[in-house]
């Protein structure tokens, strides 16, 4: 049995009378690339903010790495939430150095390796404000990796990227998972994109986690129903009552 990396029980967030995350019980196992799927406003970011300690739950429970000592265990998580934040007037290496200093880490070789890993080796004196969105996302991921996290949480990392930028992020996530054995939680509202690399999925709809499954689970079910093939996107949409748009993979 694989180790449990992140587990929530009935995690709930209310803003006033509105419940935006509703009793979510999620389990992420070691080695997963967990695709967290939901429409805009479904509650993905709010759930992630609670998991990493940026928002406090109204009720429910969170365990990290099989421990309830969240203060200690959150140090083993790297996070990129929404727009990447860094110093626009600095280079990639200057940013990495500044963020490493905040964590009291001073190892230029480690930082150079991170730059190489995310494909920003050749950016030299170029200031980050002149980076493309894809480069900014990859720098944000490098910053999240400074402390060698065991779990990387990425909130909509491909949002707004062109196909090439999406491919770069996808390949980076796969490399981190397969070569560095980092477990990944990645949220998106773009089904076609997530299905290219996720190993398990959770669908969130109106704040509720309506299902968790692997792609294999769906295959098994479709064979059981006498179907030859499955379309993951059709399946997702059938679960949330959506209609497939032939021109777009978005929900």
Contacting positions for ligand ATP (CB under 6 A): 15, 20, 38, 40-46, 156, 189
Residue 207: CB minimum distance to ligand ATP, A:
7
Residue 41: CB minimum distance to ligand ATP, A:
4
Neighbours of 197 (CB within 10 A): 16
Nearer to ligand ATP, 56 or 228 (CB): 56
Residue 208: CB minimum distance to ligand ATP, A:
12
Residue 8: CB minimum distance to ligand ATP, A:
14
Residue 142: CB minimum distance to ligand ATP, A:
23
Question: Would you state the torsion angle of the CA atoms of residues 56, 191, 235, 204, taken in this order, to the nearest 10 degrees?
Answer: 10
Distance CA 132, CA 169 (A): 13
Nearer to ligand ATP, 32 or 156 (CB): 156
Nearer to ligand ATP, 16 or 124 (CB): 16
Neighbours of 153 (CB within 10 A): 24
Nearer to ligand ATP, 150 or 189 (CB): 189
188's enclosing H/E stretch is strand 183-188
For residue 100, CA distances in Å to 76, 127, 169 come to 15, 18, 22
Distance CA 48, CA 157 (A): 13
Decide if 184 contacts 177 (C-beta within 8 A): yes
Nearer to ligand ATP, 18 or 130 (CB): 18
């Amino acid at each position: 049995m694989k180790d449990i990396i992140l587990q929530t029980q009935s995690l709930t967030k209310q803003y006033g009378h509105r419940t935006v995350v509703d009793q979510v019980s999620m389990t992420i196992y070691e080695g997963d690339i967990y695709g967290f799927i939901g429409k805009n406003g479904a509650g993905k970011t709010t759930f992630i903010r609670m998991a990493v300690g940026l928002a406090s739950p109204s009720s429910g429970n969170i365990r990290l790495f099989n421990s309830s000592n969240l203060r200690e265990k959150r140090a083993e998580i790297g996070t990129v939430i929404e727009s990447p934040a860094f110093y626009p007037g600095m280079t990639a290496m200057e940013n990495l150095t500044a963020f490493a200093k905040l964590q009291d880490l001073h190892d230029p070789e480690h930082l150079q390796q991170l730059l190489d890993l995310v494909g920003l080796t050749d950016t030299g004196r170029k200031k980050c404000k002149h980076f493309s969105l894809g480069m900014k996302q990859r720098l944000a991921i490098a910053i999240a990796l400074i402390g060698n996290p065991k779990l990387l949480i990425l909130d909509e990392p491909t949002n707004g990227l062109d196909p090439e930028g999406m491919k770069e992020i996808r390949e980076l996530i796969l490399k981190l998972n397969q070569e560095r054995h980092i477990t990944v939680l990645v949220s998106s509202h773009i089904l076609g994109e997530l299905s290219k690399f996720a190993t398990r999925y959770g669908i969130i709809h109106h704040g509720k986690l309506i299902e968790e499954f692997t792609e294999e689970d769906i295959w098994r079910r479709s064979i059981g129903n006498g179907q030859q093939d499955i379309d993951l996107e059709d399946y997702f949409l059938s679960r949330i009552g959506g209609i497939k748009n032939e021109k777009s993979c978005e929900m």
